[in-house]
């Protein structure tokens, strides 16, 4: 079966709509399954922030070892890292970048954004030619918008399709957004060494490889000699991941998969897994003789 049909069928069987772009980093060969469709990035946009951080360090605008206070009051909410801690924390920029990337810590991301600024993140993506990519809100503001739109019933309301339909955070026209193609371009620039100096590119690749979540893209590549580095993004009904798959023969493939589930449930293992399934179909097609 044609790989595009297989990808479409996999999304349908998982109960999701999906958009995918896969790119052979070295040859430029691609798989386009809705590559130019506008999508909400959610925490995937943290890769843009991570790159901006390292570009600023390269330019001497900041020192990655700078120490910053992160008091509990006013922290961005979230289930991981600083966002879930109760006491004051003092942390370096580079360690905050680790928490933001490896476990998607929203408070660590907010700390970095306060140091760098949202405009700087957009300047980075513009300079790379990512014309469909833009950060509109901070991560803290995105979460605040969801709470406001959900209304007085809070998280319980997020199982109501009518509430889901009014969430500004799920609308690419009003939220941080991109396209799958833009995101594979971003990854390819990092892996080719075009986005920043070699030592900073290596640091970014290291952090993306430390991501702890194996249930999405990595699930499609259960091999000890295949290396997966990536970043997830999650909001109600949205499950995303972008990443690079590296094979022992030197093949390197940038993949961006964005999904929206019909079911508003917070736990949907089939939709998580389809990100790995479709990424594997795309990579296998690119690697086929």
Domain presence at residue 174 = yes
What rounded mean pLDDT belongs to the chain? 96
Cα distances from 243 to residues 67, 77, 92, 136, 191, in angstroms, run 29, 25, 25, 23, 11
Domain presence at residue 99 = no
Domain presence at residue 209 = yes
Taken in order 114, 120, 121, 122, the sign of the CA dihedral is positive
Residue 28, domain CATH: 3.40.710.10
Domain presence at residue 119 = no
Residue 1 scores a pLDDT above 80: no
- The rounded percent of the chain whose pLDDT value lies above 90 is 93
Task: Report pLDDT for 211.
Answer: 97
Mean pLDDT score, 271-277: 98
Cα–Cα dist 44/25, whole Å: 19
140-169 pLDDT, tens per residue? Answer: 999 999 999 999 888 888 988 899 999 999
Domain range holding 198? Answer: 3-63+131-287
Cα–Cα dist 77/192, whole Å: 35
Mean pLDDT score, 60-88: 94
Residue 121 scores a pLDDT above 90: yes
Cα–Cα dist 160/152, whole Å: 13
Cα–Cα dist 40/195, whole Å: 23
Task: Report pLDDT for 155.
Answer: 83
Domain presence at residue 206 = yes
Q: Which two structure tokens, joined as six digits, stand for 78?
A: 């979230």
| Number of domains into which the chain is organized | 1
Residue 15 scores a pLDDT above 90: yes
Residue 260 scores a pLDDT above 90: yes
Say if pTM beats, i.e. exceeds, 0.95: yes
Domain presence at residue 22 = yes
To 10 degrees, what angle do helices 106-116 and 46-58 make?
40
Cα–Cα dist 214/273, whole Å: 10
Cα–Cα dist 211/231, whole Å: 7
HSE-CB of 236 using CA atoms within 13 angstroms: 27
Q: Binning pLDDT at 50, 70 and 90, where does residue 77 land? A: confident
Mean pLDDT score, 201-217: 97
Q: Which two structure tokens, joined as six digits, stand for 276?
A: 């790995």
Task: Report pLDDT for 78.
Answer: 87
Q: Which of 40, 42, 31, 29 is nearest to 7 (CA)?
A: 31
Domain presence at residue 78 = no
Domain presence at residue 125 = no
Mean pLDDT score, 114-130: 98
In the DSSP assignment, the letter for residue 241 is E
Cα–Cα dist 97/267, whole Å: 27
Question: Residue written as tokens 């390292």?
Answer: 54
User: By mean pLDDT, which of 138-152, 195-209, 272-286 is the weakest?
Assistant: 138-152
């Amino acid at each position: 079966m044609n790989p595009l049909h297989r990808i479409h069928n996999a999304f349908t069987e998982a109960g999701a709509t999906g958009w995918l772009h896969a790119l052979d980093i070295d040859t430029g060969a691609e798989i386009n399954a809705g590559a130019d469709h506008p999508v909400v990035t959610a925490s995937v946009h943290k890769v843009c922030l991570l790159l901006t951080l390292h570009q600023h360090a390269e330019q001497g605008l900041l020192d990655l070892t700078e120490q910053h206070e992160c008091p509990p009051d006013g922290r961005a909410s979230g289930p991981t890292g600083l966002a879930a801690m109760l006491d004051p924390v003092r942390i370096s920029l580079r360690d905050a970048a680790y928490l933001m990337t490896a476990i998607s810590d929203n408070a660590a991301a907010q700390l970095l954004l306060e140091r760098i600024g949202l405009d700087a993140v957009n300047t980075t993506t513009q300079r790379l030619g990512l014309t469909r990519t833009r950060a509109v809100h901070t991560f803290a503001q995105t979460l605040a918008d969801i709470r406001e739109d959900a209304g007085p019933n809070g998280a319980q309301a997020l199982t109501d399709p009518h509430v889901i339909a009014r969430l500004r955070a799920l609308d690419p026209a009003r939220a941080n957004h991109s396209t799958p193609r833009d995101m594979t371009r971003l990854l390819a620039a990092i892996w080719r060494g075009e986005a920043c100096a070699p030592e900073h590119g290596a640091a970014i690749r290291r952090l993306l490889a430390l991501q702890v979540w194996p249930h999405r893209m990595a699930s499609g590549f259960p091999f000890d000699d295949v290396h997966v580095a990536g970043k997830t993004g999650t909001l109600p009904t949205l499950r995303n991941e972008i990443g690079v798959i590296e094979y022992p023969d030197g093949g390197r493939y940038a993949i961006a998969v964005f999904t929206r589930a019909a079911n508003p449930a917070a736990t949907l293992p089939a939709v998580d897994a389809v990100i790995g399934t479709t990424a594997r179909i795309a990579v296998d097609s690119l690697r086929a003789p």
